[in-house]
Structure 1
Amino acid sequence: MINNNLVLLGLGSRTTTYYLSVLNDLYNKENGEYSTCPLVVFNVDFNDVNSLLPNTSETLDRLVEGYLRDMESFKPNAIIIPNITLHETVDRLHNDSEVLHPLHLTVSKLKQNNWGKIVLFGSLYSMRSDYISSYFKANTIEVISLSEDDMAFIDTVRKEVYKGTETATLVEKFHKLIARYAAKYPVVLGCTELSVLNPKNNEHIMDMAQVQMETAIGSMR
């Protein structure tokens, strides 16, 4: 039996496909030729999860705990959960598994870059709740507030990407908004759907999903 080093929790089709594409690309760049990332996709019905998000609950705890137990049965070096909000539940479980936590990894990277103030682009829940901002604050990183209009637009972009209905005009407007904020402060993308539209040409953008995946590939060396 092949020892699978990485397990990816399969959730929404768009984000799962995105993760698979980027992980394969990163692995190929590191290993060359026709190499593709050896991993297990543990696919679940995202509707079971999404219907309970963004709030934490005992029902969601039990669901995620079951997923983690099943993924751990593969004895992976690393587990990727491609949903930032879902890590709030992972935190509640005090799980000792090899989950690559995007918040922990991002804070470490922010400190390496000496970025003490950032702007967060995420779901409306993530941008308004204390979950991400309080963790950054505890690590001496200040989150600059966005306007209500900008937060509403970012959340609209997230929903359109999830449905696969984003237009070129919407993407262009989103990229301009990122560029406007990134001209003053580093922008952290804290939502997988937004990562799909990451322009990837701005050094003042840090993508939680990208950090997560780069760490995953590094764990396979």
Structure 2
Amino acid sequence: MKLALYGLGSRATAYYLQELNKQYNLKKGGYSTCPLWLYNTNFNNINPLLPNTSKALDAIVKKDLQAIKAIQPHKVIVPNITLHETIDRIDTTTDFIHPLPLTLEKIKQHQVSKILLVGSLHSMQAAYLNSFFKKNSIAVVLPTDEEMELIDTARKAIYSYTETKKQVKAYQKILKNYAAKHIVVIACTELSILKPQGNRAIVDMADLQIHNAVQIVF
């Protein structure tokens, strides 16, 4: 199976590559690394247009996806949760490893009808994720306004490699506190990178994509 990775933000893409290689190596052993094709776009053309959808963003993503399709991959993995809203609208033929159905499946395994959503400030408040969960009978709870601001500040710092120990500790504390009462869903790759480890109540969209990709190519 041919797997293609749509390279976007530097740290997010590096995280996906690292975890894909790590999980593949755990299965195959030796010096194994995950076989894939990397299409690394210039994220500077995309990031200033996010998080909102637009014709300008559509045009850039369409061009990139055409280049990826030329590789003829069986599956494509996208290391940016927000960008899936644009991809959903403009491409219905490419087989993406989409985080939303994978997340829904995981939530159902926990047998809950309510989650705590964590992501960028936009993702937590916008309709894209909230409407998906509502449509599938999953109620969404959000952190407090103060906590959402803190989470988004941490996200921006992680993106630029400028996070402090204090920021990471505060971010992880919020997740741990909510995970004691809720299933916490992480919908932002930067927040996935420094999430608390080993907590089964935390469902990470990035990890679900990566695990699914390794299962496919293994």
Q: Give the TM-score normalised by structure 2.
A: 0.97
Q: Residue 106 of structure 1 aligns with which residue? A: 103
Q: Unpaired runs of 5+ in structure 1?
A: none
Distance in 2 between residues matched to 1:73 and 1:54, nearest whole Å: 27
Contact 1:9 1:81 in 2 (8 A): yes
Q: Residue type matched to 1:123 in 2?
A: S
| 1:11 CA drift (Å) | 1.1
1:71 and 2:68 are equivalent in the alignment: yes
Q: Residue 209 of structure 2 aligns with which residue? A: 212
| 1:40 CA drift (Å) | 1.3
Task: Give the aligned CA root-mean-square deviation in angstroms.
Answer: 1.1
| 1:112 CA drift (Å) | 2.2
Contact 2:117 2:185 in 1 (8 A): yes
1:35 and 2:32 are equivalent in the alignment: yes
* Poorly superposed stretches of 4+, deviation over 4 Å: none
Q: Residue 154 of structure 1 aligns with which residue? A: 151
Distance in 2 between residues matched to 1:11 and 1:132, nearest whole Å: 20
Q: Unpaired runs of 5+ in structure 2?
A: none
1:121 and 2:132 are equivalent in the alignment: no
Q: Residue 175 of structure 1 aligns with which residue? A: 172
| 1:210 CA drift (Å) | 0.2
Contact 1:77 1:219 in 2 (8 A): no
1:84 to 81, 87, 106: 81
Most deviating of 112-121 and 82-91 = 112-121
| 1:94 CA drift (Å) | 4.0
Distance in 1 between residues matched to 2:111 and 2:74, nearest whole Å: 29
Q: Give the TM-score normalised by structure 1.
A: 0.95
1:59 and 2:56 are equivalent in the alignment: yes
Contact 1:26 1:214 in 2 (8 A): yes
Tell me the secondary structure at the aligned position of residue 201 of structure 1.
coil
| 1:113 CA drift (Å) | 2.1
Identical aligned pairs, as a percentage? Answer: 47
| 1:32 CA drift (Å) | 1.1
Q: Residue type matched to 2:109 in 1?
A: Q
| 1:39 CA drift (Å) | 0.9
